[in-house]
Every structure is written in structure tokens, then in C-alpha cells.
Structure 1
Amino acid sequence: MPRRSDDRRQGRGRPRRGRRPVRSAAAFKEHARATVTALAAQGDGVAETEDGRRLFIPFTVPGDDVDVLIGPARGDGFEARVLSFARKAPRGEAFCPHFETCGGCSVQHLTEADYRAWKRGLLVQALSRRGLALEVLDLAAVPRDARRRVTFQAERTGSAVVLGFAERRGLRIEGIEACPLLAAGLNGLIPSLRELAAAMLRPGERARLAAARVEGPEGPALDLVVERDREPDLAAREALAEFARTSGAARISWRDAAGAVEPVAQISPVTAAFGPASVELPPGGFMQPTAAGEDILRSTVVAGAKGAARIAELYAGAGTFTFALAGIAHVHAVDGDAALMRALGTGAGRSGLGGRVTAETRDLAARPLLPGELKDVDTVVLDPPRAGALRQVEQIVQAPGVRRVVMVSCNPQTFARDLRVLVDGGFVAGAVTPVDQFPYSHHLECVAALTREN
């Protein structure tokens, strides 16, 4: 769902804050041999020692016999590192030279069949923990090289600049020349983004560069948001202007210490096409990571809302689903981001849908729609951030006129929690669709439609 930035969805912080603790080699001391029996939620192999301690061992698969060094406590077990394999079970072949070092992908070592079963199983397990025995469809996948937005990290170390992604469970940046999950247009930017970082950073400084290729009616537009601890000085502004001139970027923006995003250079509008409407995204406007995944989500949501008379779309963003839903019934779109709501309303008017779409700015986590405000609504569509929509679904079950709910989530755990509330409130859930927009990671989108009789 559209958001002003990746940070709201993934909970990422400033360039030098909120990073994962480093696990030094000295922390891994005790030797053990173990057999991997399962895969954990983040893709690590799971094994038990002879004395019953649970181990999380990265880059292993069920059936592996491994000699490991046991390290720090983690959750209900301990981290461990492989010293050697006594026996290797069948596995896939990683397709990226940075796998096992870069923190982006965690399970390239699985076979395709094992990967799909593991990823679908994340949703099955989350539902099961809430006592929900629902039908879970096969994993809906997107092409591997389909990512149209990415956040690179950059650091100057002496005279060199490294641009890439944070290493697995560490602070170091793994420099890359290309990422096989990115669309070609984004991989092609890496050399020029490295040059931009070199012109902006002092020794020891870091920056984040979030690039997105937004598909609009006039073709793709490059939208870049830059972030570092210091505010932009003359050198940074000159470097950004030069990047705008040479890269063909439509817009370059700067995120300040408070998280506000302001354009530094606006060459042309950044317009996203959402079905029958076009929306000019505000600076830092979030979009789904892949066009294919967006299409899967949109078609599934529309199918779930079929037959609605009046729809409340909550956490609507810039309108990923809004305008397709407007082909079914009147849509009242609600989101806490005022800029996104203005963009959605303007897009509706320009597309001739102003009479079928209304927009409201409201923090639904703090002020969920109450049953009285839902009295004229028979269908609610929700696409909340990772924290879910617990307070809102608690109000929905008390709104007797709501007969249908379509729930979208990027977090299987909060998705299952919120579905449990709806089911306990009399709703019956149909089949659940897992959508794999983040291949070879543990991140997963989920969609379900629920109905309730009088």
C-alpha cells in the first residue's frame, strides 16, 4: 500500500541509528554437532543440541548434519555458525555472489519447491497459532527481477565509497555492482548513485538513497530520496543538481532529521497509474515493490469486494486499490497521511471519479472509525502497516451493517491476530492468498475476504 516512505512500513531508522548489533566471531565459542530438522521464520535452519538447546543455523536445510559454534542467545534459542558439514541435504544453488554476506536475501540456498513450501508455511503457521484452520492458496509469485524500488546504503571510508546493502546481522555495508532482484533500470543507476554519494559524504559518513521507478501514463519516472545525518550543504546540492541533469530523474528529494521529505529538484511530475486513474505522488510517496505484485493484490481485493454497495477503504494510501474498487461502488478512502489523501482526491477528480470517491485524513491507529461512522457501509477494505489494525477491527465487528471485510497485510502475525478478532465477531473467512513480493526473504503479503450474515 502507498506510504510516504519505506520507513513506515519496515520500521527503518536514520542512516546511523537503529542498526542491528554486531555478532563478533569471539561470541561463538562452544562446539556442537547437530542435525537440522526444520526452517525457522527467518529462514535459518533449526536444530537441537543433546542437552535440548535450540539452535538457529543460517544457510542450512533440513537433513544437514553440521558441526557448529554456539553463540549468543536469540529468542527461545541460540545463534550458531557452521564450522563444517558432516552431511549436506539436497539444496538449491544461490544465484547472487553476495548471498550469505548481504543482509537482503536469507534463503537462496533452498530448492524452488522447498522455498515455496517454506514461504507459504509462514502464513499457515501464523494462522494456526491463532487457532485458524483456513484454506491457504498456493504462493502467488512475481518475477525475480521485478523490484521497482530499493533503498541503498552508502558510506565513505577514506577515499573510497561503498554502495550496497547492510551485511547480515552487522553494520558493514556489502558493496554491490548489481542486485538480481532489481529491475534493470535500477541496477543501471548504481554507478551514478555511487558517484553522488562520493560527492556528498565526508570520511566515515553514511547516507541512504531510496530510488523508485514509478510507472505512469507517460512512462516510468525516477524518484530519488536522499538521507544523511547532516542537512544538505552547497556541495550536496550541487551534486544532487548534477545527478538530476545526468540521470533523467523526475524528482530528487531530501529527508531531514525529523523524517520530513522535501523536493530539492523537480523536473517533472511523478505520476502513478492506478487502474482508471493517475495520481501525482507526493515526495517520498510509497508504492508496492513490484508492478506484478500490485496487480495480484488489486485483483484479489476487487474480487473480494464484488457485490459491495458502499465501501470504506482504510489505510488507502494514494489509491492502489481505490479506483478499481470505485468500479464496484462508492469508496470512502481514509489514511493518516494528509499529502497522500490530497493526491488521491485530486487524482479522483481529474479522472472523473470525484462522485464515486471521497477522501478523509485520519490516524486510524489513534482514532479508528466507530460503528456509528460505519452505519452506511457494507464492505470494509483494510491494508494496514506491519502493526496491523487491531483497534479498527474491534470496531468493525461492532458495526452490524458491515457484511464483508477484505484484509490485506504485509505481516502474517498481525494479519492472523486481526483475522481472529473478525472471526470471533461472526465473520467467516474464505481462502487466504499469500503474495511473494519480497523473494528469498521472510517478508510476505497476505489477502483474505471475510463475510458475515445478518
Structure 2
Amino acid sequence: MSAESTRLVIERLGAQGDGIARTARGHAYVPFALPGETVTAAVVGERGTLMALIERAPERVEPPCRHFGTCGGCALQHLEASVYHSWKRDKLVQALAGRGIEVPVDPLVTCAPESRRRAGFTARRTDRGIVLGYNQALSNEIIDIEECPILVPAIVSALPALREVAGIIAATSQPFRLLVTATDSGLDIAAMDSGALSEHARHAAGRYVLKAGFARLSVDGEIVIEPRKPMVKAGDVALEPQPGGFLQAVASAEDAMAALAVGHLGKSRKVADLFSGAGAFTLRLARYVEVHAVEAEAAALGALDRAFRFATGLKRVTLERRDLFRRPLTFKELNAFGGVIFDPPRAGAEDQAKQLARSDVPRVVAVSCNPVTFSRDVATLVEGGYVVKRVVPIDQFLWSPHVEAVALLEKPKKRR
């Protein structure tokens, strides 16, 4: 289908941050266009490519990054901050309203630039050398980046060294992943699908990691070299994340979510932390209350166990390896707890929420990075008798369409 150049008036922002215009054939979605703007766009089907700005919106600002518009990482650097914050909060409001949940939603907890402590890069060996960066939107093309205003400076300043590491370990001409985390003891680099590592490459990579001062390098989950254990803080507890393991992207966002959880559950008789990961919430809650952490990934539970054993002053923590998608805790099991927190992947916790809705657990904290599945799971709890006490949106993913959410819920005691 050939592109058709069309003059469009942008009416609103879509869920992914695209400008939406009405045409004779239906809606057209134009990335990087803002409401109130008149643009020329090349339209194919429903997708438009911005060609020219005819009338600019007053909310349009200069993007801080030279790669904005080609790199697929950010969608909204060109939108004035207060309007951007309102749009992101409203995504959560609309998702809840779509489920019939009309509750006050707090102002957005904002995220500062240069605060994201982990980056998932794509790397590839080419005739010109190693390309390392982010995939262009809706494309397999890698944008070789030189800056990134969302990342902590420790990662940005290491981009040349990260390309060197990628070049040493690349045993394939195919794209591979490089997950880089800034920890208190240095950068933790986890490569995935970079190909079988030869002994020569292993030794060369080890020498370069020592020279660059990185904390750890792993390839497909195997530690190649670890000059220093990569450590982060879960509250005041030191935690060593497993190679390539999940970690909240922004430390201040994790702190905000954990503070809400502790405030809501900190006086419960015992708390279940479902989808606990390596214990970002467990280790903070354990300062005040006994916690039972449930997680499917053995390596994450191992990291949590080590952190707990070396910490002091914590209440009892028990661990259970369990796939909560296949085998959620039943309502009878849940009734042993005075509080529950759950923070599932983007797919949400549909079956677990149904069991929780049937339980008598008095206090629940629901955490999610997906407003659609979050609102679905919260609606399930409300149908089961829970009352939403507070909803807090958190901008952990700056200038992207994604928003984190925390809901605090209570179930009134049954009258006998």
C-alpha cells in the first residue's frame, strides 16, 4: 500500500502517545504530533509519518535528546511537562473508569531525567563495527546512540566501553541483548544471545571488564567475571541481583512504591509478597512484619534469601517457589495473612486476583506497570468486596506511554 500525503488536524493523544487525527477513512495515528497541531503526514492505513508541522501546539517543547524521533525508546520528549504528567495520570483514570471504578487518583509521582538505573540495549556486529542502542520504533533497525537523557550518567558515560565489551563477546552476526544495570559497586552487564563464548573471548572480556572497572559480566546467565559483587539497596538492606534478573528501573520509583506498601501493610500480623522477585518489597516490609515471599524464579529467590541472611534486624522471612499463574495461592491459603502485596508482570494476576477476592485478607496492595491489567485485577477485588482506599500513579518510565500504579485496598470485616 502506497503512502498518501495528507493534511491532518490532530485532535488528541492516543494510548501510545501518537497524535490522532480524523480522516475520511477513519482515524490516523501520527507519532510525534500533538493535539491542536496541523500537520502534513504520509499515511498508510492507520499509520502516519509526520512530514511537516504547519501549525504548532503551544505545548510543544524542544526534545532534550538528539536521537528523539528515530530511537524507539521515547514517545513524548516534545510535550510540555505538566501536560505530559496529566496525560500519563489520565491513562490510569480512564483504565479504571472503563472497569466502572470511579475513585480519586493521586497526582503523578514524577520521574527525573538521568534516573533510570538499567537499560536494555540491542547490539550487533556490522561491517562498520559494533552498533549499540535501541531499536527504531516498529523496526528492527538499531539506532546507535551517543546519549540518553533518561539514563543515569554512569551508563551513558560507559557507552564506548560497552561497545568494546559487545565487540569482544559477539560470536554472531545477529542482534543480541545487553542489559546494563548501574549498581552501588559498578555496572552489571548481562548479555543474552551473543553466541557461544570462546576461551579467547572469555579471557579478553575478563581483561577488559577489569580495565573498565565494571562489577560483573555474564553471558546467558553464566558469570564470566565478577571483580566486585554488584549490589543495590532495598531500603537499607544490601541486595545482589541475579545476572539479568528483574529490578525496578528507577530507584526513587521503587522507594515510592515500597513506602506505600509499608504504610498500608506494616502493621499486619503477617504479609504475603506475591511475585516477589528478589525482594524489593519483602526486605523493606520485613523491618516491621513477617513476610512470606512467593516467586517462580529460583535465582530471584536465591538473591532474596542471601540478602535476608546477611541483613540484621529483620522479622522472619519465608520463601516459596511457586508459579502463581499456574497455581495461585487459594483463598484458604491467603486467609493466613493479614496483608498481601502483588506485583505481577504486565499480563497481570487474573487468577490470583480471583482467589484474593474470595479471601478475608483485610489489606491488599496491588502494583502494576500495565493500567489495563491493573484495572482488571482491581475490579476483580472490588467485586469480591474490597474497597479502594487510594490509587497512586508513578512515572517510572519517563517520556514513554507506560505508567506504574499502586492501589491500596481494604476488605471490611464481615458482621456476624
* Alignment of structure 1 residues 420-435 onto 2, 5 Å: 420-435=379-394
**SS in structure 2 of the partner of residue 302 of structure 1:** helix
Q: Match of 1:189?
A: 158
Give CA deviations for 1:288-316 in whole Å, capped at 9, x if unaligned.
Answer: 11111111111111112143111111111
Q: Match of 1:22?
A: none
What runs of 5+ residues in structure 2 fail to find an aligned partner?
none
CA shift at 1:451, angstroms? 0.3
Give CA deviations for 1:344-394 in whole Å, capped at 9, x if unaligned.
Answer: 223222224575211111111111001221222121111111111111110
**In structure 1, what is the Cα distance between the partners aligned to 2:231 and 2:272?**
24
Q: Match of 2:28?
A: 55
Q: Which one-letter code corresponds to 1:418 in the other structure? A: D
Residue correspondences, number: 412
**In structure 2, what is the Cα distance between the partners aligned to 1:58 and 1:252?**
37
**In structure 2, what is the Cα distance between the partners aligned to 1:324 and 1:201?**
39
* Alignment of structure 1 residues 192-211 onto 2, 5 Å: 192-201=161-170, 204-211=173-180
Distance 1:113 1:276, change over 3 A: closer
Q: Match of 2:119?
A: 150
Q: Which one-letter code corresponds to 2:226 in the other structure? A: Q
* Alignment of structure 1 residues 221-236 onto 2, 5 Å: 221-236=186-201
**SS in structure 1 of the partner of residue 243 of structure 2:** coil
Q: Match of 1:295?
A: 255
Q: Match of 1:321?
A: 281
CA shift at 1:206, angstroms? 2.6
Give CA deviations for 1:53-110 in whole Å, capped at 9, x if unaligned.
Answer: 01101111111112222213xxxxx001223333222111111011000000011111
Bigger RCO of structures 1 and 2 (CA < 8 A, at least 6 apart): 1
Matched-pair contact (CA < 8 Å) for 1:56–1:80: yes
What runs of 5+ residues in structure 1 fail to find an aligned partner?
1-26, 73-77, 256-260
**In structure 1, what is the Cα distance between the partners aligned to 2:222 and 2:164?**
22
Out of 374, 380, 396, which is 2:356 matched to?
Answer: 396
Matched-pair contact (CA < 8 Å) for 2:172–2:195: no
Q: Match of 2:131?
A: 162
Q: Match of 2:7?
A: 33
CA RMSD, aligned part only? 1.7
**SS in structure 2 of the partner of residue 60 of structure 1:** coil
Matched-pair contact (CA < 8 Å) for 2:171–2:197: no
* Alignment of structure 1 residues 289-438 onto 2, 5 Å: 289-352=249-312, 356-400=316-360, 402-438=361-397
CA shift at 1:229, angstroms? 4.8
* Structure 2 residue 216 is matched with structure 1 residue 248: no
CA shift at 1:118, angstroms? 1.1
**In structure 1, what is the Cα distance between the partners aligned to 2:171 and 2:309?**
46
Out of 71, 83, 99, which is 2:51 matched to?
Answer: 83
**In structure 2, what is the Cα distance between the partners aligned to 1:59 and 1:176?**
19
- Runs of at least 4 residues of structure 1 off by over 6 A? none
Q: Match of 1:67?
A: 40
Q: Which one-letter code corresponds to 1:447 in the other structure? A: V
Q: Which one-letter code corresponds to 1:124 in the other structure? A: V
Q: Which one-letter code corresponds to 1:174 in the other structure? A: I
CA shift at 1:241, angstroms? 1.1
Distance 1:346 1:163, change over 3 A: closer
* Alignment of structure 1 residues 95-114 onto 2, 5 Å: 95-114=64-83
CA shift at 1:272, angstroms? 2.6
Matched-pair contact (CA < 8 Å) for 1:157–1:203: no
Matched-pair contact (CA < 8 Å) for 1:94–1:109: yes
Distance 1:28 1:200, change over 3 A: farther
* Alignment of structure 1 residues 125-144 onto 2, 5 Å: 125-144=94-113
TM-score by length of 1: 0.87
Task: Point out the more displaced range, 287-296 or 196-205.
Answer: 196-205
**In structure 2, what is the Cα distance between the partners aligned to 1:413 and 1:173?**
29
CA shift at 1:199, angstroms? 3.1
CA shift at 1:186, angstroms? 0.6
Q: Which one-letter code corresponds to 1:290 in the other structure? A: V
